[in-house]
Amino acid sequence: MEYFMRNLFKGSRTGAAFLAFTLVLGLSARAADGSRASTPPRERADMRSLFNGKDLTGWDGDPRLWSVKDGAIRGQTTAETPAKGNTFLILKDQRFGDFDLRLSFRCNADNNSGIQYRSKHITEGKVANQWVVRGYQHEIRNQNQLPSVTGFIYDEGGKRGRMCLVGERATWENGQKNVTGTLIDQEAFTKLFKLDDWNDVVIVARGNRIRHFLNGTLIMDFTDKDPQLALQEGIIALQLHAGKPMWVEFKNVRIRELTR
């Protein structure tokens, strides 16, 4: 390295110093998992599929509302078949703690949906139907105007609401959110999100840190430091929201469990 720098800049101390700074900066931008800080980890060959592309084997939800169409999971409500409260398609008999979850989605603009993870299936008490889930949710919307867009983390069924918005690096501790950095602005998100089309999601959860990536770009980085409320593991589910008729589709759902 010393020989390379000395000869490249022909003795220029300023040039060598600049190159050294650039190399250090590049290394520091690399995350602990080997990925660039602003991009998801490289997809590994050992990702495991959670959806067979043919039917809903392994999943459980209201059969009036969930189906498979053209190789994708489709959830749809209509005026004739509404959702009586938020309802979910639940991945059965599997729980995950630290993971790299990937999928693609598209939806219409009349309502919103979500991806539940580290969540709990509620089977007791006064619930609207048997497919009720509570926990962390990756919000899904067909909108491109911040802050109400795809990718923020929502406390489904809890009291914390929108815990970290798209574009934020934030922590939750002492009962409140603390924003520590900015990741993406309105102009960049407008270019990134594909209205009325398929978008790719990566969710990386490791310990109390959660990152959401959209179409290859980090859009939210959240660390949950609440000792009572932080979720460490749970189920995965897909949401149909109560209210206006809507549809949402998911495909290429796959996961790799991580070790700390």
Structure tokens at 10: 């022909």
Segment (H or E) for 80:
none
Q: What share of the chain is helix, strand, coil (3-state, %, to 5)?
A: 10, 45, 45
How high is the pLDDT of residue 116? 98
What integer is the mean pLDDT of 51-78? Answer: 97
Query: Given phi > 0 = left and psi -120 to 50 = alpha, else beta, which region is 43?
Result: beta
Q: Which of 99, 47, 48 is nearest to 204 (CA)?
A: 99
pLDDT recorded at residue 92: 97
User: Is 182 in contact with 168 (CB distance < 8 Å)?
Assistant: yes
Helix or strand or coil: residue 59?
A: strand
- Among 21-25, 153-157, 238-242, the minimum mean pLDDT is found in 21-25
What phi, psi does 40 have (nearest 5°)? Answer: -70, 160
Contact 117, 140 (CB under 8 A): no
Cα separation, 199 vs 143, in Å, equals 12
Least confident of 13-22, 34-43, 65-74, 93-102: 13-22
pLDDT for res 18: 41
Question: Torsion angle of alpha carbons 192, 194, 198, 203, nearest 10°?
Answer: 30
Nearest Cα to Cα of residue 202 among 42, 33, 53: 42
Q: What is the CATH number of domain 39-257?
A: 2.60.120.560
More confident residue, 9 or 119: 119
Whether the Cβ atoms of residue 208 and residue 186 lie closer than 8 Å to each other: no
Where is 15: in which H helix or E strand?
A: helix 13-28
pLDDT tens-place string over residues 69-112: 999 999 999 999 999 899 999 999 999 999 999 999 999 988 99
Residue 10 reports pLDDT greater than 70:
no
pLDDT of residue 37: 75
The pLDDT of 225-237, averaged and rounded, is: 97
DSSP three-state, residue 28 = helix
DSSP one-letter string for 102-165: EEEEEE-SSS-EEEEEEEEEE-SSS-SSS-EEEEEEEEE-S--STTSSTT-EEEETSS--EEE-
The per-residue pLDDT for 21 is: 40
Residue 31 pLDDT: 52
* pLDDT confidence band for 126 (50 / 70 / 90): low
Over the stretch 157-212, which tens digit does the pLDDT of each residue have? Answer: 999 999 999 999 999 999 999 999 999 999 999 999 999 999 999 999 999 999 99
Closest CA to 60 of 124, 141, 133: 133
- Structure confidence at residue 130 (pLDDT): 86
What does the pLDDT read at residue 206? 98
Q: Which helix (H) or strand (E) holds 191?
A: helix 186-192
Predicted pLDDT at 215: 98
Q: In the chain, where are the structural domains located?
A: 1-30, 39-257
